């Protein structure tokens, strides 16, 4: 039995002119999502990053979906012709630092709400981050759904800026994990298949899960706190810039995840890693990081 996914009446706030202190006190440390209406107002990417721009300048980049390779130019053609009955594959992700580092000035300056950020600290071994220390471009066509509900790996905060088109985000509070059939091996992912047309016979508890729905448009930035479950759908052809954030507000959750990850393969080292991260956190706190 398939049914329609039910959204909650809860509405997320859209804020403009928010100071960092207001963000920290009202959203970052309390762990509440918010949409910044003007955080990326100085980015050249807004208006520049279009499907035509990437097809012309980066169409040669090759991506793979379901075992089949496409150039970015071919994918953009699929994306622009996507429709609800025949959606383009999603997501198409491109690592900016790897494939197009010359575009970094177009997504600068770094958003003030994402500083300080501990991800690039020399005190944190890169292996602890699971590849999260990067900027990614997401390309999507109409009705392209992200493949699963999740929270960001290692309990990092998610920062997503729309530079082209509109995307609907579905966001679940952390306490709804009990309804999401969490993967035992990958506890940051839900195992509910085709969650957008849910089979409540197979996943009866999922009927109790009620996500907040928000449309994020060009120039707007969504902050999703660590541990908040989410997924997304492209309402129109879309291009987004996404990266993760680590600071004092989610340091404990990150440290706990690192300890768990290490304990699975090197249990004797887990307590040492925990002690190291506790000390590193204290140092960064003292430095105002």
| Residue-range domain boundaries for the chain | 14-249
Decide: 135 and 243 in contact? Cβ < 8 Å. yes
Cα 1 to Cα 267: distance, rounded to the nearest angstrom: 44
pTM of the model: 0.94
Cα 69 to Cα 196: distance, rounded to the nearest angstrom: 26
Helix %, strand %, coil % for the chain, to 5? 35, 25, 40
Q: Per-residue pLDDT for the chain (289 aa), expressed as one digit of tens each?
A: 456 677 776 678 999 999 999 999 999 999 999 999 999 999 999 999 999 999 999 999 999 887 889 999 999 999 999 998 889 988 899 999 999 999 999 999 999 999 999 998 999 988 888 777 689 999 999 999 999 999 999 999 999 999 999 999 999 999 999 999 999 999 999 999 999 999 999 999 999 999 999 999 999 999 999 999 999 999 999 999 999 999 999 999 999 999 988 888 888 888 898 899 999 999 999 998 8
Encoding tokens for residue 264? 């699975």
Decide: 288 and 116 in contact? Cβ < 8 Å. yes
* pLDDT computed for residue 67 by the predictor: 83
Encoding tokens for residue 11? 């509405």
Encoding tokens for residue 266? 């090197």
* pLDDT computed for residue 1 by the predictor: 43
Q: At residue 142, what are phi and psi to the nearest 5 degrees?
A: -50, 130
Element (H or E) spanning 251, and its range? helix 251-265
Encoding tokens for residue 3? 């049914």
Residues 6+ apart with CB under 8 A from 157: 28, 223, 224, 225, 226, 244, 245, 246, 247, 249, 250
- Peptide bond before residue 33 is cis, with ω within 30 degrees of 0: no
Decide: 155 and 226 in contact? Cβ < 8 Å. yes
* pLDDT computed for residue 10 by the predictor: 66
Instruction: Tell which residue, 227, 262, 250, 241, has the closest CA to residue 125.
Output: 262
| Homologous superfamily of 14-249 | Cupin (2.60.120.650)
Residues 6+ apart with CB under 8 A from 289: 116, 118, 121, 247, 248
Handedness of CA 171, 176, 179, 180 (dihedral sign): positive
Instruction: Tell which residue, 247, 222, 246, has the closest CA to residue 34.
Output: 222
């Amino acid at each position: 039995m398939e049914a329609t996914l039910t959204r909650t009446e809860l509405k997320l706030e859209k804020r403009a002119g928010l100071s960092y202190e207001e963000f920290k006190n009202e959203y970052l440390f309390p762990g509440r999502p918010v949409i910044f209406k003007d955080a990326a107002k100085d980015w050249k990417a807004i208006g520049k990053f279009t499907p035509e721009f990437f097809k012309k300048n980066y169409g040669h980049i090759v991506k793979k979906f379901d075992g089949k390779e496409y150039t970015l130019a071919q994918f953009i053609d699929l994306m622009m012709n996507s429709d609800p009955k025949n959606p383009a594959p999603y997501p198409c992700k491109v690592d900016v630092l790897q494939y197009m580092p010359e575009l970094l000035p177009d997504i600068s300056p770094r958003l003030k709400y994402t500083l300080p950020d501990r991800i690039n600290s020399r005190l944190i071994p890169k292996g602890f981050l699971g590849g999260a220390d990067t900027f990614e471009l997401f390309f999507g066509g109409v009705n392209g759904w992200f493949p699963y509900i999740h929270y960001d790996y290692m309990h990092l905060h998610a920062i997503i800026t729309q530079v082209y088109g509109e995307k609907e985000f579905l966001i679940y509070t952390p306490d709804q994990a009990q309804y999401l059939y969490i993967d035992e091996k990958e506890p940051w992912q839900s195992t509910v298949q085709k969650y957008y047309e849910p089979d409540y016979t197979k996943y009866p508890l999922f009927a109790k899960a009620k996500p907040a729905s928000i449309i994020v448009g060009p120039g707007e930035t969504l902050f999703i706190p660590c541990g908040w479950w989410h997924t997304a759908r492209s309402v129109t052809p879309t291009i987004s810039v996404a990266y993760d954030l680590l600071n004092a507000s989610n340091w404990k959750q990150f440290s706990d995840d690192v300890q768990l990850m290490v304990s699975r393969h090197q249990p004797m080292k887990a307590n040492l890693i925990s002690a190291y991260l506790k000390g590193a956190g204290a140092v960064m706190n003292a430095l105002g990081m």
